[in-house]
Chain A
Amino acid sequence: MSYYPYFVAGWLLLAGCFGIVRSRNLVHAVVSLAIAQAGTYVLLLSVGYQRKATAPVFGSTTKPNTNVVDPVVQALTLTDIVVSATVTALLLALAIQISKRHGTVDPDELSALEG
């Protein structure tokens, strides 16, 4: 029984969350979030892994009856990466606006509510 990759995924999630908690810069917080999301890639891909199996793309060398790893979780990981990239872009755009309006990107200095 081997669970090591699953624990790597959980560790990445918690490490990313810890990065957000101790962040002193919004860009650092966004990157930490990306690391936490990377945990889900590792989890998904390790769920679909099979020993001595190849990539789920058939061709002249890989006949359709060979053992392949799970393509469903790979497709989910692709979705995950796209969503992660778009979220990162949106959050960075927000960080730019915050830096313009408040002159700081330190989350600790952004305590007051406005409006």
Chain B
Amino acid sequence: MNRSTRYVLFFTGGALIAVLYVWGVVGMPSFGSHDHPYRDRAVHASVAHATPNVVSSVNFDQRGFDTLGEETIFFASVVGAAALLRPSKEEREQHAANRDNLLQVLASTRLLGYVLLPLTLLVGFDVVAHGHLTPGGGFQGGVVLATGLHVLYVAGRYDALDRLRPVTVFEHGEVTGALAFVGLGFAGLAVSGSFLANVIPFGTFGSFLSAGTIDLFNFAVGIEISCGVVVLLAHFFEQAIVLRGNPQARS
């Protein structure tokens, strides 16, 4: 299809969608209105389970099965990306000594990186651990943890990151996190008869040891997401830095 036919097709379809969308929107409740029936029920259920962060309660308590699907999507996509980014036969690994793209980093940048690395990891743990009390949780904290590790790449050399990050360990970590989520689900099934049920005593509203299994789910997801993101980025790094293809293969 050439470019002009494609534009014609897009503008026809886009105009149709726009008309349908506007038609749908004018039938919706006005923006910012007071009527939120799902909100009222979700808040009620969350307070009943002593969970101050209602979003965490929705994710891990009220619709835990959806979150299981969500983290399975994440897991599958990391596996898929790893399969897609396998080094091919024509490619070989380049060793640090003869790599021509070594980074030259300012001493101040390196110092800032070494200061920020433990700080970012600490923030990540905090976001995961307090996911049931304050904004945050396993998904958000996991991403903070994984990016925190990559401060080392910005601060120094890829080799330093590579030594600190044995990819197989993180691959196992990702699997452990995913299995822990499913295991918690089965624990709920064994104790109360329903999958992913919140079976631990809820505790006092607002204290660290409260909200039942939600914090355990946060930890499971935090482990899975942080390890998964590290594995994912490791494969992209490998493509960009370590592998050098045979020029003839690119024709």
Residues of A within 8 A of B (CB): 1-7, 10, 13-14, 17-18, 21-22, 46-51, 55-60, 64, 67-75, 78-79, 82-83, 86-87, 89-90, 92-94, 96-97, 100, 103, 108
Contact = CB atoms under 8 A, between A and B. Distances in A.
Interface in B1-54: 3, 6-7, 10, 14, 17-18, 21-22, 25-26, 28, 30-34, 36, 38-39, 42-43, 46-47, 52-54
A4 B26 CA distance: 11
Given A3-B25, A51-B32, A56-B55, A79 B232 contact: no
25 contacts: A4-B31, A6-B28, A17-B10, A21-B10, A50-B33, A50-B36, A56-B53, A58-B47, A58-B53, A59-B134, A68-B39, A70-B36, A71-B54, A71-B55, A72-B42, A74-B58, A79-B67, A83-B70, A86-B74, A89-B77, A90-B84, A93-B84, A93-B236, A96-B84, A103-B250
Nearest to B58: A75
Given A93-B235, A96-B84, A49 B139 contact: no
Interface string B239-251: 1000001000111
Contacts of B250: 100, 103
B93 interface: no
A93 B206 contact: no
Interface in B202-251: 205-206, 232, 235-236, 239, 245, 249-251
A3 B78 CA distance: 38
B32 A49 contact: yes
B206 A50 contact: no
Chain A interface, >50% SS class: helix
Contacts, number: 150
Nearest to B13: A17
B135 A57 contact: yes
A48 B238 CA distance: 42
Contacts of A6: 25, 28, 31
**From DSSP, what is the main secondary structure of chain B's interface residues?**
helix
B152 to A, nearest CB: 21
Nearest to A21: B10
Interface of B: 3, 6-7, 10, 14, 17-18, 21-22, 25-26, 28, 30-34, 36, 38-39, 42-43, 46-47, 52-55, 57-59, 63, 66-67, 70-71, 73-74, 77-78, 80-81, 84-85, 88, 133-135, 139, 205-206, 232, 235-236, 239, 245, 249-251
